[in-house]
Each structure stands twice: as structure tokens, then as C-alpha cells.
Copies of this chain bind each other. A is one copy, B any other.
Amino acid sequence: VRLSRGGALVREGERRRGVFTLTKGALRRIRLLPDGRRLVAGFLMPGDFIGFSGASHYRHSIEAIIDSTVCAFSMSDMRTLCSDHPQLERELLERACVELDATRGNLMSLARLNPMERLAGFLVDMAMRRRRQGQDDSEVILPMTRTDIADYLGLTVETVSRSFTRLRQEGSIATDDRHHVRLLDRARLDALAEARA
């Protein structure tokens, strides 16, 4: 399935149809409140599995940040695959646990860290994801907007922008353009991030 920038893969409240894996691009997991408050519950990068949920209806919308392609499986596909390959269920459990760890890490960020710490944690986390993909982790590519980052970190756009500026001023990072950040002082960023994953 191909998704163009801004398109929705699934919408909050819809009946659950199936599961997906992201092969190319970048997605965001969104929840909205009636009054407009917005949460980005996570970003999805190539290789990520989408569909860990015990609920019958989607709890979040999943939207494309940039043009993306996903691989879709219906629920019945899923069931037959699982019964054919008992290994698969174990692998999925493993992945679900990793995602749970990551999500719990975000709790600390949202509950107790200040804006600089949250942003540093986010950057370090993005760098780690790149390393896992075998890419250079001294630079990070942020396909999402500052607003997305703000709604992910539980801050406002302005605060996110100011935090970027402060990290740049103290020499921890350099921003080549909006979407490319170089991590100059990894020790400093790690120290700020500390509490997270």
C-alpha cells in the first residue's frame, strides 16, 4: 500500500482491520481531543510493526509524515501465519515487549523531564534507531515538523524551537537545515536524556 504525505493509514475509532509493517517512509501515531489538543503517541520508521493492540477499534490515527509504503496483512492472514509459524508469535511478543519498554520510557520523559531533557532524549532515541538500521548515528534526520515533535514531547512548538536553539547555542547539536541535526556532544546529550531508554 502506498501512502502520500499527510494521508491516513488508519483512523482513530475505526474498526480494527489488520496489521501492517512500514517498509519505506515515516508515519506518526496520533490522538486528538475534541477541543483540539493533540498527542503524537509515537513515530514509526521503516521496519516497524504496526498493530499491537488488544482493542477492537483503533485507538490512534496513523498518518504519513512523508510519502510511505506499508505492507498490509488482514487479521485472518495474521492468524493463519501465526498458526503456520509458531516462531512468529514469539517474535511478535518480543517486539511488543520492546515497544512496551520504549513507551514506558516516554512516560518518564513526559512526567518529569524539562523541555531540554525531553528534546535531548528524543534526539538520542532517533540516533539509536538509525544505528540499529546500520546507519551513521552522529546525524539524525527528522522528517516530522516541529509541531509533531512538540505534540510528541508534550510541549508547544515555541518551547521546542527554543530548546533546539539552546542546544545549538551550547554546542550540543548543529542544525544544517530543519530536518538534519548533527549530534556534536553526545556525552552531554546522553546526560540530559539519562532517564530514557
Contacts and interface: CB of A to CB of B under 8 A. Distances in A.
A101 interface: yes
A39 B100 CA distance: 16
A98 B104 CA distance: 14
A157 interface: no
Contact of A90 (B34, B53, B89, B151): B89
Interface string A145-178: 0000001011000000000000000000000000
A154 B110 contact: yes
B37 A112 contact: yes
A34 to B, nearest CB: 8
Contacts of A108: 31, 33, 39, 41
Contact of A33 (B98, B106, B194): B194
A185 interface: no
Contacts of A101: 53-55, 59
Interface string A33-70: 11001110110000000001111000110000000000
B97 A52 contact: yes
Interface of A: 31, 33-34, 37-39, 41-42, 52-55, 59-60, 82, 86, 89-90, 92-101, 103-108, 110-112, 151, 153-154, 194-195
Complex A-B, nearest 3 residue pairs according to Cβ-Cβ distance, in ascending order: A111-B154, A54-B98, A110-B110
